Structure 1
């Protein structure tokens, strides 16, 4: 078992590997010899070199992406924060299993292996406005589910989510980790009254758990959800296996934020797949220091925006690893 307590998980975060500096240097040298003007491929060049550093080779690959969707239910829905009931979580999990969701189509389009993990849907977390969302044992189980879901041989990893009420949970995590108000968004489409209930629930949760706000892992336990903890565990596992990660929207980034606050540099192996229109996603990306690769007005979740960004990384790697050098092509390099 990788860890059995939050203390052991915290210790693991302190042992994260760094990128391979020799592979980065080799990839930079290769990039300088490819048959194109310097910098002509813009961000694609930076992305390919970043991939090289984590994969430990000057010719990175992106043909084996993995997507895992984690699903969980939340006690805070008792506060009237969602336009849908918790039953929809299980119904959507069934839709994923039958291949009928948007993420199924995107996974096929980019050749990604898709897995779905439902985490105790019949047992929602506790309402965090009344007490801690999870016990230590519960959050550790969720973290381990995510950690163990990652294929260490994957070239790219994406964590997606499904869980009615989880935009409220993500907003509470963001508020607890970074302070301020206004983190709540419309999620599944709540009206103004619903949005006010969400913001009130977020602020009530943060106030109730103010004693633990200095400890990001305790914030995850007290204000988080099983699927969000699983995403955090998966992102940590990908780092240990040196697998590059594409972050999805607001909810996925709230999971990543826990790691970022717990261990400086914890998200160096991650890029932001897209900018969602959900609530304060752009604000959260700014806190994480991540620039989104895409901005398409998405707010579906499921890992959908990050799945689209797989194509960007595949394009970057295809050019970097597949293009000929000037010497190979018999083309004269510039002066």
Structure 2
């Protein structure tokens, strides 16, 4: 049975100001947060949650990343024990973390895992139709669980070697952009690796074009289990009237899909930052989202969005002074 989402509710109207804005983007973000909370004055989120969807990508074996395929499972273990930059930053920002193994290529059993690694998108489909629906449904259920447990601000993230290659492919497909214009340096790749990555995106995009108008087929063909789960998560968060801070390339590529699955979902999201990835910039423009900050962050995996979390509380505070 195809995945379906309830109609996305409209946020409340932005409160009218009684004085001239003084704090720039913080003023605008305070207005945005108040409208999503259904309040005349925003409150600082009490239970922000970072949800990391971890997955391996077959295309990593093509030499498109500076990291080895073993990086994913090592990073998952470290993150679950409080390590990694994301874990440390989230703790400092007062945010809890949930790590979801959606497609890690690991011998350890995981109830949430859809499959062990996604297919290499330059040569084969990332997922079967059944796996695609399972991944989207997983993201949908995780969003429901977080909201039911009291989350009042969600920060979705990805974790996995090679993730930026299928993410860039999806952005190129959904924005009509040539491969060379979406390929960035990802994990810090050199020129030869960049050329291999550009070739992989080119080949994956060629495979994706026949299904570009069908979001589930598209993510199954040229995406991955993490991107499918993120799309389901983002769409359901909007259905559940829960504000979301978008992170980098993979999350915003999934956001493009989620807007197709649940039209109007974008009104419940805001962009935390602008990364150095060209496909991320294109995705933000397509979603018509102006990021809060441009920190020059190249790393994905939620780190940029978590850096912005303290500003959320500040935006609520300064809003009360206007």
Q: Give the alignment's TM-score, normalised by structure 1.
A: 0.86
* SS of corresponding position for 1:134: coil
TM-superposition CA deviations, 1:237-288 (whole Å, max 9, x none): 2101111111001111111111234454321111111111134322222222
* SS of corresponding position for 1:70: strand
Contact 1:187 1:279 in 2 (8 A): no
Q: Aligned partners of 2:104 and 2:262: how far apart in 1?
A: 30
Q: Aligned partners of 1:177 and 1:217: how far apart in 2?
A: 13
Q: Aligned partners of 1:42 and 1:208: how far apart in 2?
A: 43
Matched, 1:224 2:223: yes
Q: Aligned partners of 1:68 and 1:262: how far apart in 2?
A: 20
Aligned residue runs from structure 1 range 178-193, under 5 A:
178-181=175-178, 182=180, 183-193=182-192
Q: Which residue of 2 aligns with 1:18?
A: 10
Q: Which residue of 2 aligns with 1:8?
A: 3
Alpha-carbon shift at residue 212 of structure 1 (Å): 0.7
Aligned residue runs from structure 1 range 148-297, under 5 A:
148-150=141-143, 151-152=146-147, 153-181=150-178, 182=180, 183-297=182-296
Contact 1:177 1:261 in 2 (8 A): no
Q: Aligned partners of 1:230 and 1:103: how far apart in 2?
A: 20
Aligned residue runs from structure 1 range 77-92, under 5 A:
77-92=60-75
* SS of corresponding position for 1:171: helix
Alpha-carbon shift at residue 77 of structure 1 (Å): 1.8
Contact 1:276 1:299 in 2 (8 A): yes
Q: Give the alignment's TM-score, normalised by structure 2.
A: 0.89
Alpha-carbon shift at residue 42 of structure 1 (Å): 2.5
Contact 1:142 1:226 in 2 (8 A): yes
Q: Aligned partners of 2:169 and 2:302: how far apart in 1?
A: 20
Q: Tell me which stretches of 4 or more aligned residues in structure 1 moved more than 3 Å.
A: 261-264
Which structure has the larger Rg?
Answer: 1
Contact 2:219 2:228 in 1 (8 A): yes
